[in-house]
Structure 1
């Protein structure tokens, strides 16, 4: 099927079609990298006593990730811009995904020895960089496979597939490698072979579920016949930002507000397990079980929120979700026992999914045709620019509370730091005009 700029692949078809499935399948596969490698399993292995002092290992990992974050902030917008102009959006998804898979597989060679610490940290940081590179153009495809009337459902479906993919990948890792239910050579703990095999599993999972996008989604057309030299890319990007300031400040204000509340959303998952273990006494197994159940709830929330998005608009979904998050977060803060964390923690997961999906669909409705990659690049960059905010307020709230409360109770107050970020994001979002709805 041949498409022209601004024409959706699904203009006359049902929204849940082969293009939607192929697009969302990439998110399903990507979840193994995010959930298994970067969040729950491999980074825990890398910061364990197997690599020496755990505090030093955590410091090395955070330094490597910080450098990766700077690379993302500097490079992502121009990579999206250049892909838009050249009409090579899918090509760069494929290239960056293949590089991501190779880096992930290379983690197999991170042996449990302090001399491999920096090697492992650099690989993790590189994964985060190329994941973001691929993700920018992946998000930009959203406008190719949806209409203004279906973009909310499609975005929510993609987020939901990502959550479900992460759930299944985590479960397979848990029962196949970490706590195997069947004794097999890949589950051997000698030289941490089981955890190193997790890297190969994640690489294969990512590649396998990326293939439908590679073969089904057509390449986007070029937005311009004139190529941009690499040396001129930042100049063109700055010019485009200034043009947006003059012509569409609403879009720029949304990028800023979403950066703040998305940092709060990320912090919920980043520190959720820490709070569960440190404040409510969850064991590692209980944390993983909660993570799996929480991802199920988040997936359901993302899909249902996508339908509400197309009915009421994305701003209503984001505002409602942020209010729900503030209420649920307060519930976690005041809960004296683990049962309260289960109730209000799962409620947090329910509202995280719709807020994430609606934020993406909100931007897709505002983007001028032909600039999807560039502006989703700015979307990623603005998020990185304030990514320190929630961790800093989380740590600051704990530091303030430490001399004022009983021993072991200060961590609970970190929740208030996260809630402050969410509240600030909500206040910044309220004055912004909603995108116009289209049938």
Structure 2
């Protein structure tokens, strides 16, 4: 029996649940994509090629850990009487890890500290996401799961957009200047020479999360009726859900296209920093444009999801992402003249490609979440979302690893785009053999 059998929860609980995406988004926007990741590559290592390779190996380690732990965690959540304690524990790991990035100054000691802190924070935020996703079928009605998932994802991107704006307005000076975009001296005397603006994204993300995750604990009903029976092992979980053929086929397809999405966002800022020499300022502007596009795509994709079904939405998003990668591959390293921002044609086209990727990424992820909510058996919602995380991480080491290896062997950042495009293509082909869903009711095959 599908999990979407209960009436939707009250609007306050739904809004508090959606606010979790807002709370967690600075991790993905500021730290792992646009601000701290390029600082990691350019300053902590001093060599963009080595930095990109190390970042890839780090992301691969996170992916492998989450992939092995997620199915077990999801199965345990099905039999938990209260989801509050595990969410709080995962949140604590994230907050402590991301806050430690402030101490990651240039040099080998800072590099090691950053890698440990990023690993801990990534595990914490991934586990918290899995647990909160379990709540989606109970909070959404059968006819608007796509809108709730898409709106939450859009809210998350709005959080990323605002947090980026704060960094540019208050913390990061414009290139070649001493003042921020708002004309202010960077707060707290932050010095770009020791990575101050980039390092500050760590404690900023921690404080942001603490403030905005609180409504989840106050307004969302975290108590639940545990599923009957003993806690399922990973083998039991897979055996139970394997019989759900549409869900299984979709999760296999997602192994590939989500891996490609992780890779392109893990290296998007790093690629631009290496190709054009973009600083924190340019990368921040790029991130704002991309986050706005992603939020718009997720919001619109939620309505399309409930009207057309999630599979067509995901397929269209993948095609748009492949087109964006093709555009990036044609660009050379032409950089703007001194003192100008995005003055070269190549840089402007990179912005266009980034907007295309943003529009694609929102609905690709939000519709995946709504599809699992539609297909998950009522007693195995946690296990299904655990396997959703598994499908996004089991081979997620492959994308960053392939980018790292190809980049290092070829001595070229552009070469790293090839495995990303290939993974998107494989995922698209497999997706077309998964499941047809018309609105909230499933026509399964």
- Which residue matches 1:142? 136
8 Å contact from structure 1 (residues 143, 364) kept in 2: yes
- The question of whether the paired residues in 1 share the 8 Å contact of 2:60 and 2:397 is answered with no
- Paired position in structure 2 for 1:406: none
**Aligned-pair CA distance for 1:176:** 1.9
1:352-431 aligned within 5 A: 352-392=361-401, 394=403, 411-431=413-433
Structure 1 residue 325 displacement after superposition: 2.5
When residues 266 and 305 of structure 1 are mapped into structure 2, their CA distance, relative to the original with a 3 A threshold, is same
Measured against aligned partners, the alpha-carbon deviations of 1:237-292 in whole angstroms (never above 9, x if no partner) come to: 212312333x2122111111012111122233223334444456655533321221
Residue 227 of structure 1 deviates from its aligned partner by: 4.9
What is aligned with 1:405? none
**Pair 1:22 & 2:16 matched:** yes
Aligned to 2:304: 308
Shift of 1:104: 2.2
CA distance in structure 1 between the aligned counterparts of 2:378 and 2:317, rounded to whole angstroms: 28
Q: Does 1:243 align with 2:255?
A: no
Aligned to 2:8: 10
1:389 to partner: Cα distance: 3.5
Match of 2:291 in 1: 295
* Residues 305, 358 of structure 1: 8 Å contact kept: yes
Tell me the distance in 2 between the aligned counterparts of 1:48 and 1:266: 20
- TM-score, structure 1 length as denominator? 0.84
Instruction: Give the corresponding residue for 1:170.
Output: 164
The alpha carbon displacement at 1:21 in A equals 1.6
Distance 1:52 1:329 in 2: 27
Q: Give the aligned partner of residue 69 of structure 1.
A: 63
Pairing 1:13-412 to 2, within 5 Å after superposition: 17-49=11-43, 62-179=56-173, 180=180, 181-183=183-185, 186-189=188-191, 195-228=198-231, 236-245=233-242, 247-279=243-275, 284-334=280-330, 337-338=345-346, 339-392=348-401, 394=403, 411-412=413-414
* Aligned-partner Cα distance in 2 for 1:57–1:139: 33
Question: Aligned in 2, Cα 1:220/1:144: closer, same or farther, shift over 3 Å?
Answer: farther
Task: Give unpaired runs (5+ residues) of structure 1.
Answer: 403-409
Aligned length: 417
- Mapped to 2, the partners of 1:419 and 1:274 lie a distance apart of 17
Separation of aligned partners in 1, 2:404 and 2:115: 23
- Take 1:381 and 1:211, find their aligned partners in 2: how far apart are those partners? 27
SS at 2:79 equivalent: helix
Q: Does the CA contact (< 8 Å) of 1:176 and 1:187 recur in 2?
A: no
How far the C-alpha of 1:352 sits from its partner, in A, is 1.9
Higher RCO, 1 or 2 (CA under 8 Å, sep at least 6)?
Answer: 2
| Change in 2 beyond 3 A, CA 1:292/1:319 | same
TM-score normalized by structure 2?
0.83
**Superposition RMSD in Å:** 3.0
